[in-house]
Amino acid sequence: MALINEDYLKLPDNYLFTEIARKINILKATRGNAKVIHLDAGDTSCILRGELYNTLKQSLEESVEWEGSREFNAEEHHKTLVTRILKNEFETRGVKLTPSEIFLSDSAKNAAEDFNDILSTDNIIGILDPSYPAYIYSNVMNGRAGERMNDGRWSNLVYIPCNQENGFKPQIPKEKLDVIYLNLPNNPMGITMDSSELKKWVKYAMDNQTLIIFDAAHVHYITEEGVPHSIYEIKGAKKVAVEIRTLSKTTGYTGTNFSYTIIPNEVSAYTKMGEQVSIQKLWQRRHTSKYNGMPYNSLIAAEAAYSPQGLKERQELVNYYMTNAKLIKETLTKHGYKVWGGTNSPYVWVKTPNGMSSWKFFEQMLYEYNIVCTPGVGFCPGGEGYVRFTGFAKHEQVKEAMNRINNKIKM
Amino acid sequence: MALINEDYLKLPDNYLFTEIARKINILKATRGNAKVIHLDAGDTSCILRGELYNTLKQSLEESVEWEGSREFNAEEHHKTLVTRILKNEFETRGVKLTPSEIFLSDSAKNAAEDFNDILSTDNIIGILDPSYPAYIYSNVMNGRAGERMNDGRWSNLVYIPCNQENGFKPQIPKEKLDVIYLNLPNNPMGITMDSSELKKWVKYAMDNQTLIIFDAAHVHYITEEGVPHSIYEIKGAKKVAVEIRTLSKTTGYTGTNFSYTIIPNEVSAYTKMGEQVSIQKLWQRRHTSKYNGMPYNSLIAAEAAYSPQGLKERQELVNYYMTNAKLIKETLTKHGYKVWGGTNSPYVWVKTPNGMSSWKFFEQMLYEYNIVCTPGVGFCPGGEGYVRFTGFAKHEQVKEAMNRINNKIKM
A410 CB-contact burial (10 Å; exposed 0-12 / middle 13-18 / buried 19+):
exposed
Shared-domain flag, residues A264 and A401: no
Of A2, A121, A298, the CB nearest to B210: A2
Q: Please state the separation of Cα B173 from the chain's center in Å.
A: 22
Give the residue from A112, A150, A118 showing the smallest Cα distance to A131.
A112
What is the nearest CA distance from B171 to chain A, expressed in angstroms? 19
In a domain, residue B64? The reply is no
Are residues A243 and A115 in contact, defined by beta-carbon separation less than 8 angstroms?
no
Q: Which band of pLDDT confidence, cut at 50, 70 and 90, is reported for residue B107?
A: confident
Of B66, B118, B255, the CB nearest to A295: B255
Residue A66 reports pLDDT greater than 70: no
Query: Which distant-in-sequence residues (6+ apart) come within 8 Å of B396 by Cβ?
Result: none
In a domain, residue A60? The reply is no
Neighbours of A175 (CB within 10 A): 10
Cα–Cα dist B297/A298, whole Å: 9
Cβ–Cβ gap B4/A69 under 8 Å: no
Neighbours of B332 (CB within 10 A): 20
Shared-domain flag, residues A101 and A79: yes
Single out the residue in A284, A306, A328 at which a domain terminates: A306
Between B73 and A234, residue with greater pLDDT:
A234
Torsion of CA B379, B383, B389, B393, to 10 degrees: -10
Cβ–Cβ gap B4/A277 under 8 Å: yes
In A, minimum Cα distance to B273 occurs at A3
What is the nearest CA distance from B300 to chain A, expressed in angstroms? 12
Shared-domain flag, residues B296 and B322: no
Describe the strand order of the beta sheet including B339-341 as a list of residue ranges.
Answer: B339-341, B347-351, B386-390, B374-375
What pLDDT, in 10s, does the model give residues B309-351? 999 988 988 999 999 999 999 999 999 999 999 999 999 999 9
Residue A399's SS3 state is: helix
What is the nearest CA distance from B76 to chain A, expressed in angstroms? 12
Of A141, A292, A394, the CB nearest to B107: A292
In a domain, residue B52? The reply is no
Single out the residue in B305, B332, B354 at which a domain terminates: B305
Bin A370: left if φ > 0, else alpha if -120 < ψ < 50, else beta: left
Q: Which band of pLDDT confidence, cut at 50, 70 and 90, is reported for residue B293?
A: confident
Tell me, what's the pLDDT at A74? 76
Backbone angles phi, psi at B336, to 5 degrees: 90, 5
Cross-strand bridge partners of residue A159: A127
Q: pTM for this one?
A: 0.93
The sign one gets for the Cα dihedral A184, A186, A190, A195 is negative
A113 touching chain B per CB within 8 A = yes
Query: Which distant-in-sequence residues (6+ apart) come within 8 Å of A158 by Cβ?
Result: A124, A125, A126, A127, A173, A175, A177
Cα–Cα dist A1/B271, whole Å: 9
Count of A-B CB contacts under 8 Å? 249
B288 touching chain A per CB within 8 A = yes
Cβ–Cβ gap A46/B72 under 8 Å: yes
Please give the average per-residue pLDDT across A382-396, as a whole number: 94
Shared-domain flag, residues B244 and B160: yes
Segment (H or E) for A194: none
Shared-domain flag, residues B211 and B298: yes
Residue B176 reports pLDDT greater than 90: yes
What is the nearest CA distance from A72 to chain B, expressed in angstroms? 6
In a domain, residue A104? The reply is yes
Single out the residue in A290, A306, A322 at which a domain terminates: A306
User: Among the listed ranges A225-234, A286-295, A300-309, B165-174, which one has the minimum average pLDDT value?
Assistant: A286-295
The reply to whether omega before B161 is within 30° of 0 (cis) is no
Give how many domains chain B has, as a whole number: 2
Residue A321 reports pLDDT greater than 60: yes
In a domain, residue A368? The reply is yes
Q: Which residues of B touch A178 (CB under 8 A)?
A: 1-3
Shared-domain flag, residues A320 and A302: no
Cβ–Cβ gap A110/B48 under 8 Å: no
Cβ–Cβ gap A4/B271 under 8 Å: yes
B251 touching chain A per CB within 8 A = no
A178 touching chain B per CB within 8 A = yes
Of B6, B61, B106, the CB nearest to A120: B6
Are residues B94 and B120 in contact, defined by beta-carbon separation less than 8 angstroms?
no
What is the nearest CA distance from A353 to chain B, expressed in angstroms? 31
User: Among the listed ranges A364-378, B8-22, B50-64, B274-288, which one has the minimum average pLDDT value?
Assistant: B50-64
Please give the average per-residue pLDDT across A266-295, as a whole number: 91
Whole domain around residue A177: which residue ranges?
71-306
Tell me, what's the pLDDT at B71? 64
Shared-domain flag, residues B341 and B228: no
Are residues B94 and B228 in contact, defined by beta-carbon separation less than 8 angstroms?
no
Query: Which distant-in-sequence residues (6+ apart) come within 8 Å of B10 by Cβ?
Result: B140, B145, B147, B148
- The mean pLDDT of chain B is 91
Residue B213's SS3 state is: strand
A16 touching chain B per CB within 8 A = no
Shared-domain flag, residues A335 and A225: no
Cβ–Cβ gap A282/B8 under 8 Å: yes
Tell me, what's the pLDDT at A296? 76
Give the residue from B363, B360, B45 showing the smallest Cα distance to A77.
B45
Shared-domain flag, residues A182 and A325: no
What pLDDT, in 10s, does the model give residues A44-63? 444 566 788 888 888 777 76
Give the residue from A192, A194, A203, A222 showing the smallest Cα distance to A128.
A192
Cβ–Cβ gap B69/A49 under 8 Å: yes
Cα–Cα dist B288/B280, whole Å: 12
What is the nearest CA distance from B4 to chain A, expressed in angstroms? 4
Q: Which band of pLDDT confidence, cut at 50, 70 and 90, is reported for residue A68?
A: low
Shared-domain flag, residues B244 and B264: yes
Residue B397 reports pLDDT greater than 50: yes
Shared-domain flag, residues B291 and B332: no
B274 touching chain A per CB within 8 A = yes
Are residues A183 and A222 in contact, defined by beta-carbon separation less than 8 angstroms?
no
Please give the average per-residue pLDDT across B43-56, as a whole number: 68
In a domain, residue A411? The reply is no
Cβ–Cβ gap B285/A120 under 8 Å: no
Cβ–Cβ gap A286/B60 under 8 Å: no
A96 CB-contact burial (10 Å; exposed 0-12 / middle 13-18 / buried 19+):
exposed
Residue A43 reports pLDDT greater than 60: no
B42 CB-contact burial (10 Å; exposed 0-12 / middle 13-18 / buried 19+):
buried
Q: Report the CATH number that the domain containing residue B338 is assigned in CATH.
A: 3.90.1150.10
Describe the strand order of the beta sheet including B259-262 as a list of residue ranges.
Answer: B102-105, B259-262, B241-246, B211-215, B179-183, B125-129, B157-161
Enumerate helices (H) and strands (E) in chain B, giving the number of each.
Answer: 13, 17
Of B1, B114, B296, the CB nearest to A270: B1
In B, minimum Cα distance to A239 occurs at B2
Cβ–Cβ gap B289/A61 under 8 Å: no
In a domain, residue B66? The reply is no
B178 touching chain A per CB within 8 A = yes
Cα–Cα dist B111/B246, whole Å: 10
What is the nearest CA distance from A94 to chain B, expressed in angstroms? 28
Cα–Cα dist B77/B79, whole Å: 5
Q: Which residues of A touch B395 (CB under 8 A)?
A: 67
Tell me, what's the pLDDT at B46? 47
Q: Report the CATH number that the domain containing residue A129 is assigned in CATH.
A: 3.40.640.10
A208 touching chain B per CB within 8 A = yes
Are residues B166 and B197 in contact, defined by beta-carbon separation less than 8 angstroms?
no
Residue B186 reports pLDDT greater than 50: yes
User: Among the listed ranges A155-159, A397-401, B303-307, which one has the minimum average pLDDT value?
Assistant: B303-307
Q: Which residues of A touch B288 (CB under 8 A)?
A: 15, 18
Cα–Cα dist B132/A370, whole Å: 52
Q: Which residues of B touch A67 (CB under 8 A)?
A: 320, 394-395
In a domain, residue A61? The reply is no
Shared-domain flag, residues B132 and B148: yes
Dump the DSSP string for B337-405. Answer: --EEESSSSSEEEEEPGGG--HHHHHHHHHHHH-EE-EEGGGG-GGGTTEEEEE--S-HHHHHHHHHHH
**Residue from B69, B141, B180 to probe the interface with A (highest A Cβ count within 10 Å):** B69
Cβ–Cβ gap B295/A255 under 8 Å: yes
Tell me, what's the pLDDT at B45? 47
B72 touching chain A per CB within 8 A = yes
Contacting B residues, span 135-174, partner chain A, CB-CB under 8 Å: 137-138, 141
Q: Which residues of B touch A63 (CB under 8 A)?
A: 48, 53
* Amino acid code (one letter) for B368: E
Tell me, what's the pLDDT at A45? 47
Q: Which residues of A touch B289 (CB under 8 A)?
A: 11, 15, 113, 134, 137-138, 141
